[in-house]
Structure 1
Amino acid sequence: MRFLHKEFQGLEGDRMSGLYTNFYKEKKDENGKITDVEFIYDDSFNFAYDVVDKYAEAEPGKLALVHKSTTGEVRRFTFADIKNMSDRAANMLNSLGIARGDKVMLLLKRRYEFWISIIALHKLGAVAIPTSHMVSARDIADRVSMSCTKAIICVNSDDICDKVREAIVLAGDSSFTGKNKEKVLQIVVGDRYEDALSFSELIEDAEDYFERVSTNVHDDMLYYFTSGTNGAPKAVIHDHSYPLAHIYTAKNWHGAQDNGLHLTVADSGWAKSAWGKLYGQWFVGSAVMVYDYEQFYAWDILSLLEKEKITSFCAPPTIYKYLILEDMTNYDLSSLKEVTTAGEPMPIEVARKFTEKTGLIVREGFGQTETALQICTPVGKEQIKGSIGQASPLYDIRIVDEEGEEVSYGTEGEIVIIPKVRGILPMGVFKGYLGDKTQYEEVWRGGIYHTKDRAIMDEKGNFFFLGRNDDVIKSSGYRIGPSEVEDVIMKHPAVFECAVTGYPSKNRGTLVKASIILNDGYLPSATLQNEIQNFVRERVALYKYPRKICFATDLPRTTNGKISRAMIRKMDYQK
């Protein structure tokens, strides 16, 4: 629900406490459970001006960002620093012709310049397009043409600058679909690259004060390109109200606190970065920890948690799988109070071992690039084994069948969001797919948002994730959720990581297949395969155990690091 923005409150002398309370009010029942959330803002709301610059004005010395570079250098940025540098960046970009409504792509990995750039783009009213550095030149060209990108800010690392240069040439070619009419500017962070513009040189010469630009909360603010199970990547559009939805994410799920330090392990090109490395954390007054590592090492992350006294931490399940292999008694994690995970199902066995080693409960969450956090186990609530949590009070979430009818408790169906007010988008839900009205209407068929994710809800409101619509395996007349089988396989001591998919079969239609990465000390063999099959058979219904096992050294992944069951299926069907 939207209300008019009130005069700024929350000042205690020259200190600001709980800035988010000026924009966010919780309604609770007699047991203290949050039942609804009200948002307070007006049509001019802009996160850069109304949050970042407000902190800089009231508490200029308040810590905003701690950045550790690939060389180990640690820099600390206050909100005054962020305001100053984003003002300079806004002036610099404006001098290059970037203005309200223009699109700028960011390929900056985990460089601190990402935060400077995106806040500057918000100030300009321009649209930021965070992009993974793992995409190809063709991918970049497709995104440039689809969005009419005017500039790309990229880091001179690996082959990123080369890919960007190739993409700019490709996007401008007359034979390329959606040819750009203007040449795209290439602005490079780090060492100079050929004749590209230098970010550091341009920003140094720019003025350090930027006059507020008039923007509207319904203006496009972010484009996130996300890959579907089938078809080309689509661009998810979020407007300037999107950051508000992540107040609940940071406060009630991550457990981020005023003057705390939060670390979410995510590349700046992922939507997960917006969840855990920017909006909600700064709303609640927590600083953000950023580590720009080249190679992930579990001991390195544990050392960082200890040395920087991280207070809240979020990472995908794969990270936890590596952490529990370390001797965690060697690290002082006493500052760490809250730990969370999302992105893919958390194996029960991994969560159990992490709790054994640290005493901390890993609380799960679920959402999509198209939305904010939909479902989670909030701070202070029990993490139900195998559950992704309960619905966020921002949303009315139900489980429905193929006809869109709500199913009974314990019955499998699709997760959907029903607007609390008919015709009004729930906070944090995207406003469209760029250039694809048909697909947007399809996911909103019947007036409800179809996530295309399947789950079961029990009578207490706990959701149990089963997988994407296409991930559910149909074998011999049975429907099998891959997550349940993966949880059991992960309990076997030989298994480090696995993915369960359907494998084509002449007799059964589809077989249950497990693709498995083994722990150190174990080698693939027919004996081990039989052992794992028997292990699973003893713990699940007979029709669910994997009749086919494939040992692998790696598994195909999406650009945001998730195991891609779709790619495994595609390779199997091509065979």
Structure 2
Amino acid sequence: TETSNARTRVSTSFRPIRCGPSQTRQKTSAPQNFPSYESLRQMYDPEVPEYFNFARDVLDAWEAKEKSGEKVQSTALWWVNEAGRQIKWSFEELGFHSRRLANVLSGECQLQRGDRVLLILPRIPEWWLVNVACLRTGTIVIPGTSQLTERDILHRLQVSKAKCVITDDSVAPMLDSVAPECSFLKSKLLVSGKKREGWRDFGELLRNHSCSHECVNTRSDEAMTIFFTSGTTGSPKMTQHSHCSFGIGLTVNGRYWLDLTEKDVLWNTSDTGWAKSAWSSVFAPWIQGACVFVNHMPRFDTSTVLKTLSSYPITTFCTAPTAYRMLVQEDISRYTFSNLQHCLCAGEPINPEVMEKWKQMTGLDIYEGYGQTETVLIAGTFKGMKIKPGSFGKPSPAYDVQLVDDLGNIVPQGKEGNIAIRVKPHKPFSLFTKYTDDAQRTADCYKGDFYLTGDKGVMDEEGYLWFVGRADDVILSAGYRIGPFEVENALIEHDAVAESAVVSSPDPLRGEVVKAFVVLTAEYKTRNKDELRAEIQKHVKKVTAPYKYPRKIEFVDHLPKTVSGKIRRVELRNKEWGKS
């Protein structure tokens, strides 16, 4: 397999392709060094072969280039932990270990093509090995966060019918508690140096198996992975992706949004249980031949993040908006990020004030991206584009994104509508296949010619998209439509507000009004609550349209969240409306 300068073709022999107009270009924010947005859309023209497997057609291709001496950077995975331990694997070493594990899955575990594997591990190298080994064997990996409760695990096992689970000591006791209710579960592998009754030792099995393995010839549309949604608006759904939807579809993330080349080192802080980890910790960077950097970091710690960015040659950094908000509260002047060139965020909208502070402190812009578990990048701000704080950019080359009404009709620019992806006459291959075993919820996602994301937004006259809120989060008060995110943005600019969630609350006069649940910062916890409530309301009236201010404010110690850290507004809203 050889490298080609044609950056937008994916043929039956997938070719690792360099990103950017020039292999030797320097990454800067200067627009003249990057293709125009219109050019990016024209350049994106993928072909999907009948058969495709990411491990064989991409990873093994980079391994071959590495062995031939053509590969610019040989590090595929670079892992560090808080004790200073490091593991660096080349693509050849990644291939060696993953082929061994593939033999374990098909041999010792007797897994067949299409069987499901529940994977619950923190940010350790074994997580990446399992992902690649499942690709090689045609088994379907189901990642889960280590923050899952016993109830969560039982639900995931019972609805997925996973035949194998791979986890560590922290989760194994919960698995043992629910395993008697899961007769279909046949194999349990423990990533630990300790022995546990009923579990096979992952490391021991790996050491005792051959590194010779022939990759399964999977069809492009064959099921590859299942991610459970975060459950912000209901019970988690099993979102199924094919080998091509992520394996080829995430080219748009790696090449255009992350702007990666073979020389880059990407650090994405996403938890291993969520689709963003597949986006930016597996497929997108390795499509481009970049190095995936990982810090074990059991809990997000600003000091660890800043030290890591200043100590390692990380060129590209992607994290959540909440993380940036925490980082800009630190004294960043003590650190030097000499290698850092590109900063990105995704997962939720970012506050413009945070973007400005980060730019002042580091000299670097934050490029926002928007997508879902069900998709690849839906929209983003790409290098060379004007950044509009508060907007998450323009539609990605992968999709025809429109704003539509509830009947699927396109609405005019400037008018609020449902953020939607055109699926007719041809459904994009990079869209999820279905919600597994849930035909009704799958069908409910489509209206007319479009897939509805469930998010509300506005497209301005330049084609930029602005987030309003989840479709069922929008508040209708006295004829006004109010998005919770804008109110939350205003709230968080007040020094007293550590965190907030805004929902609708019933009102006899206005039908419903804005209510804010507010977690106070430590120095304001002892203040008079009535005075503080009035002060916060006055502040919101100043920074946003007065009709949007929260007429009700309840101070709380914490907000209900999903295991991925997203606020469960549905729980708060149901409480307000007497549905819980």
TM-score clears 0.5: yes
User: One-letter code of the match for 2:147?
Assistant: M
Contact 1:126–1:221 (8 Å) recurs in 2: yes
Q: Deviation at 1:87? A: 0.3
Structure 2 residue aligned with 1:74 = 86
1:287-436 matches, within 5 Å, as: 287-419=291-423, 422=425, 424-436=426-438
Contact 1:63–1:259 (8 Å) recurs in 2: no
Deviations 1:198-256 (A, max 9, x none): 10010000101112222111110001111444442210110000221111212221233
Contact 1:316–1:343 (8 Å) recurs in 2: yes
Deviations 1:360-381 (A, max 9, x none): 1111111110001101001222
Q: Deviation at 1:517? A: 2.9
Structure 2 residue aligned with 1:453 = 455
Structure 2 residue aligned with 1:219 = 222
Contact 1:347–1:486 (8 Å) recurs in 2: no
User: One-letter code of the match for 2:87?
Assistant: R
Query: Residues 334, 496 of structure 1: CA spacing in aligned structure 2 closer, same or farther, 3 A cutoff?
Result: farther
Deviations 1:512-564 (A, max 9, x none): 11222334433343222211111111232222101112233332211211222
User: One-letter code of the match for 1:51?
Assistant: V
Structure 2 residue aligned with 1:83 = 95
Aligned: 1:516 with 2:527: no
Counterpart-to-counterpart distance in 1, 2:83 and 2:76: 21
Query: Residues 4, 53 of structure 1: CA spacing in aligned structure 2 closer, same or farther, 3 A cutoff?
Result: closer
Contact 2:12–2:51 (8 Å) recurs in 1: no
SS in 2 for 1:278: helix
SS in 1 for 2:408: coil
Counterpart-to-counterpart distance in 1, 2:36 and 2:355: 31
Structure 1 residue aligned with 2:5 = none
Deviations 1:103-148 (A, max 9, x none): 1110012121010011000000110101122222232222222222
1:14-413 matches, within 5 Å, as: 32-35=39-42, 37-60=44-67, 62-69=74-81, 71-95=83-107, 96-157=109-170, 160-172=171-183, 180=184, 183-190=185-192, 191-241=194-244, 242-413=246-417
Counterpart-to-counterpart distance in 1, 2:42 and 2:485: 29
Contact 1:189–1:198 (8 Å) recurs in 2: yes
SS in 2 for 1:521: helix
User: One-letter code of the match for 2:189?
Assistant: I
User: One-letter code of the match for 2:144?
Assistant: T
Query: Residues 8, 233 of structure 1: CA spacing in aligned structure 2 closer, same or farther, 3 A cutoff?
Result: closer
Counterpart-to-counterpart distance in 2, 1:104 and 1:277: 19
Contact 1:29–1:35 (8 Å) recurs in 2: no
TM-score (norm 2): 0.90
Structure 2 residue aligned with 1:177 = none
SS in 2 for 1:39: coil
Counterpart-to-counterpart distance in 2, 1:560 and 1:167: 22
Structure 2 residue aligned with 1:485 = 487
User: One-letter code of the match for 1:279?
Assistant: F
Query: Residues 299, 569 of structure 1: CA spacing in aligned structure 2 closer, same or farther, 3 A cutoff?
Result: same
TM-score (norm 1): 0.91
Contact 1:17–1:285 (8 Å) recurs in 2: no
Q: Deviation at 1:31? A: 6.5
What count of residue pairs does the alignment treat as equivalent? 550
Which ranges of 4 or more aligned residues in structure 1 deviate by more than 6 Å?
Answer: 28-31
Query: Residues 250, 91 of structure 1: CA spacing in aligned structure 2 closer, same or farther, 3 A cutoff?
Result: same
Deviations 1:60-110 (A, max 9, x none): 571011112354422111111110000000001111201211111100121
1:461-476 matches, within 5 Å, as: 461-476=463-478
Structure 1 residue aligned with 2:502 = 500
Structure having greater relative contact order (Cα 8 Å, sep ≥ 6): 2
Deviations 1:405-460 (A, max 9, x none): 111111111011003x61x3213200111111122112123231011100011011
Counterpart-to-counterpart distance in 2, 1:296 and 1:400: 38
Counterpart-to-counterpart distance in 1, 2:9 and 2:242: 14
Contact 1:512–1:547 (8 Å) recurs in 2: yes
Contact 1:10–1:17 (8 Å) recurs in 2: no
Structure 2 residue aligned with 1:21 = none
Query: Residues 165, 76 of structure 1: CA spacing in aligned structure 2 closer, same or farther, 3 A cutoff?
Result: same
Contact 1:499–1:563 (8 Å) recurs in 2: yes
Deviations 1:296-355 (A, max 9, x none): 210111101111121111111110111011100111112111111111111111111111
User: One-letter code of the match for 1:65?
Assistant: L
RMSD, aligned CA: 2.3
Contact 1:2–1:41 (8 Å) recurs in 2: no
Q: Deviation at 1:288? A: 0.7
Counterpart-to-counterpart distance in 2, 1:67 and 1:375: 30
Counterpart-to-counterpart distance in 1, 2:365 and 2:139: 40
Counterpart-to-counterpart distance in 2, 1:307 and 1:170: 47
SS in 2 for 1:245: coil
Identity rate, percent? 34
User: One-letter code of the match for 2:197?
Assistant: E
User: One-letter code of the match for 1:498?
Assistant: S
Counterpart-to-counterpart distance in 2, 1:7 and 1:245: 12
SS in 2 for 1:113: helix
SS in 2 for 1:479: strand
Which stretch shifts more, 195-204 or 497-506? 497-506
Counterpart-to-counterpart distance in 1, 2:241 and 2:37: 35
Contact 2:505–2:576 (8 Å) recurs in 1: yes
Counterpart-to-counterpart distance in 2, 1:4 and 1:270: 29
SS in 1 for 2:163: strand
User: One-letter code of the match for 1:151?
Assistant: C
Structure 2 regions of 5+ residues with no counterpart?
1-7, 26-34, 68-72
Contact 1:397–1:416 (8 Å) recurs in 2: yes
Structure 1 regions of 5+ residues with no counterpart?
19-27, 173-179
Query: Residues 113, 541 of structure 1: CA spacing in aligned structure 2 closer, same or farther, 3 A cutoff?
Result: same
Deviations 1:248-273 (A, max 9, x none): 21222123332211111111110010
Counterpart-to-counterpart distance in 2, 1:166 and 1:70: 31
Counterpart-to-counterpart distance in 2, 1:486 and 1:9: 42
Q: Deviation at 1:8? A: 5.2
User: One-letter code of the match for 1:256?
Assistant: L
Query: Residues 516, 354 of structure 1: CA spacing in aligned structure 2 closer, same or farther, 3 A cutoff?
Result: farther
SS in 1 for 2:215: coil
User: One-letter code of the match for 1:454?
Assistant: K
User: One-letter code of the match for 1:232?
Assistant: S
User: One-letter code of the match for 1:67?
Assistant: W
